[in-house]
Amino acid sequence: MRSYRAKMVEPIRLPDREEREAALDRAGHNVFNLDSDAVYVDLLTDSGTGTMSDAQWAAMVQGDEAYAGSASFTDLEAAVSDVLGFSRIVPAHQGRGAENVLYGCLVEPGDVVLNNTHFDTTRAHVVEHGGEPVDCPVDGALDPATSGDFMGNFDVGRAREVVDEVGKERVPVVVVTVTNNSAAGQPVSVANVREVRAFCDDIGATFVIDACRFAENAYFVREREPEFADASVAEVAREQLSYADACIMSAKKDGLANAGGFVGVRDDPSFDDLFERAKQRAILYEGFTTYGGMAGRDLAAVAVGLREAVTEEYVRDRVGQVRWLGERLDAAGVPVVQPAGGHAVYIDAGTMCPHVPSEEFPGQAVVCDLYREGGVRGVELGEFAFPGTDRPDLVRLAVPRRTYARDHLEHVVETAAAVADHATSLAGYEVVSEPPMEELRHFSAELRPLT
Ligand SMILES: Cc1ncc(COP(=O)(O)O)c(C=O)c1O
């Protein structure tokens, strides 16, 4: 049962097939280049695309726009401290701003950064600071046919092998991303985070949690980790984050806001220096330390959103909607990663289009056809987005929070089922132009179909 109702609406329309074909051509067969009014159901990302509550809008009206010492910043500090347990924060305009601030303080040229799986902007920031990003997913995490309760976990055994090879001095930072966006949004257990904590203590590394989807992750932990069966989602979130030295947050996800982010730093004297350096970097790149690139009203919206994100009604509904989409797609014969993650359903395009080799981007073929067929926008996360990494060719359908109703998602299921029906006739693609930084290619490259 939905735990909210609509109070404001935004018109959307499904352009006819001819318009969609023309729009796709103009976009160079890259759906990032489509105008949003040409899209009917937009599942490109769950980042900053959700609907805010009336309480968030009310708080925005009272946002304090002071350059320094904003009351809205104090509210945000209190919310982060209550919900995530970090009483020291450095605000940033969004998650990657927070990544730039934090990884700029922690990563030196030649360092190795370990992560369950680096998200694309995280990978790019590590590389930007001269580091080498190394993924440590658990076995099967990147295999769409393998399922399990905590396929997002960090493989400590694999991480130890890397440390044995390069030496612990070269590994100053270990990151755990919850949920694991690049491994189909799968959750990470609290037991795993405890193990990573012990590993970081062994090698003397700073332990960072990328907490973008901490509330969705906590919901899965409560469902699947017996120790937490009777805990509230808020309690699980606090427990899980309590093991990290620092966190980075994109408030565009479980902050339930359209903008914003922050770095959280543990309130412990051994991190005083990190906190001070992070603040100085933030002044350089983000803005003064009590707004960090956010308007006062954005700080206010995030402060309210974080508290809403751990309410039972919100998070049950959120995870339930995504799960429903996954189950319906599966029942309609669309190959999807099972069970669904917290924010998105991932279509296994490699299985759907076995005749298209990975280097011809089967995921992009499916993405383009979802748009052509029903005006649905998803995103390729495979060889096109992550060149040369041997990732499976997946298509992510990310569900914006509190935004679409069941009939929109039924349209998505019908569209995807139609694509699956004629998938064996889809052609692959080739890149015709791309930006210099390979890690960022899927945002702006242009392609053409190989007919
Ligand atoms: C796991 C993860 N980390 C970092 C980011 C970057 O956040 P932002 O898009 O707010 O810059 C994202 C965004 O999708 C993400 O999913």
CATH number reported for the structural domain that contains residue 444 in this entry: 3.90.1150.10
Nearest alpha carbon, ligand 1 atom 5: 95
- β-sheet bridge partners, residue 117: none
Ligand 1 neighbour 122 (Cβ under 6 A): yes
Cβ atoms of residues 122 and 210 within 8 Å: yes
Q: Which atom of ligand 1 is nearest to the CA of 96?
A: 11
Q: Give Cα separations from 360 to 51, 281, 447 (angstroms).
A: 36, 41, 10
Query: Which conformational region is residue 191 in: left (phi greater than 0), alpha (psi within -120 to 50 degrees), or beta?
Result: alpha
Residue 269: name the closest of 293, 287, 245 by CA.
245
Torsion sign across C-alpha atoms 113, 379, 302, 283: positive
166 pLDDT higher than 90 = yes
Best mutation site among 45, 96, 294, 396 for ligand 1 pocket (most ligand atoms within 8 Å of CB): 96
Look up residue 273 and give its amino acid: D
Residue 197: name the closest of 135, 266, 299, 272 by CA.
266
Does 249 lie in the same domain as 122? yes
pLDDT tens for 82-106 read 999 999 999 999 999 999 999 999 9
Ligand 1 neighbour 179 (Cβ under 6 A): no
Query: What's the pLDDT at 386?
Result: 87
Ligand 1 neighbour 217 (Cβ under 6 A): no
Ligand 1 neighbour 181 (Cβ under 6 A): yes
175 pLDDT higher than 90 = yes
Cα 261 to averaged position of ligand 1 atoms, centre (Å): 9
Given 288, 309, 330, the domain boundary residue is 309
**Residue 256 domain boundaries:** 54-309
Please count the structural domains in the chain.
Answer: 2
Residue 325: name the closest of 27, 111, 41, 23 by CA.
41
pLDDT tens for 203-253 read 999 999 999 999 999 999 999 999 999 999 999 999 999 999 999 999 999
Residue 9: inside a domain:
no
* Mean confidence (pLDDT) of the chain: 96
441 pLDDT higher than 90 = no
Q: Give Cα separations from 91 to 209, 276, 282, 396, 427 (angstroms).
A: 16, 13, 8, 29, 45
Q: 14-43: buried (b, 16+ CB within 10 Å) or exposed (e) per residue?
A: ebeeeebeebbeebbbbbeebeeebbbbbb
Ligand 1 neighbour 252 (Cβ under 6 A): yes
CA 226 to chain centre: 26
Residue 199: inside a domain:
yes
Per-residue pLDDT averaged across 334-358, rounded?
A: 96
Both structure tokens of 215 = 């509330």
Nearest alpha carbon, ligand 1 atom 8: 95
Q: How confident is the model at residue 150 (pLDDT cuts 50, 70, 90)?
A: very high
Torsion sign across C-alpha atoms 196, 198, 199, 201: positive
Cα 244 to averaged position of ligand 1 atoms, centre (Å): 18
Ligand 1 neighbour 213 (Cβ under 6 A): no
Ligand 1 neighbour 250 (Cβ under 6 A): yes
pTM value surpassing 0.85: yes
| SS3 assignment, position 132 | strand
Both structure tokens of 64 = 């304090």
Given 282, 309, 336, the domain boundary residue is 309
Cα 125 to averaged position of ligand 1 atoms, centre (Å): 12
Q: 191-202: buried (b, 16+ CB within 10 Å) or exposed (e) per residue?
A: ebbebbbebbee
Cβ atoms of residues 321 and 409 within 8 Å: yes
Cβ atoms of residues 298 and 244 within 8 Å: no
In the chain, helix, strand, coil percent, each to 5?
Answer: 45, 15, 40
439 pLDDT higher than 80 = no
Torsion sign across C-alpha atoms 364, 369, 375, 376: negative
Cα 257 to averaged position of ligand 1 atoms, centre (Å): 13
Does 185 lie in the same domain as 282? yes
Q: How far apart are CA 68 and CA 346, in angstroms?
A: 43
Does 424 lie in the same domain as 318? yes
Ligand 1 neighbour 261 (Cβ under 6 A): yes
Query: Which conformational region is residue 375 in: left (phi greater than 0), alpha (psi within -120 to 50 degrees), or beta?
Result: left
Best mutation site among 94, 212, 396 for ligand 1 pocket (most ligand atoms within 8 Å of CB): 212
Does 186 lie in the same domain as 63? yes
117 pLDDT higher than 80 = yes
Residue 2: inside a domain:
no
Does 316 lie in the same domain as 293? no
Does 296 lie in the same domain as 419? no
Cβ atoms of residues 360 and 422 within 8 Å: no
Q: How far apart are CA 6 and CA 375, in angstroms?
A: 23
Strand bridging mode 261-265 / 344-348: unpaired
CATH number reported for the structural domain that contains residue 276 in this entry: 3.40.640.10
Best mutation site among 101, 123, 250 for ligand 1 pocket (most ligand atoms within 8 Å of CB): 250
Residue 49: inside a domain:
no
265 pLDDT higher than 80 = yes
Ligand 1 neighbour 342 (Cβ under 6 A): no
Query: What's the pLDDT at 53?
Result: 98
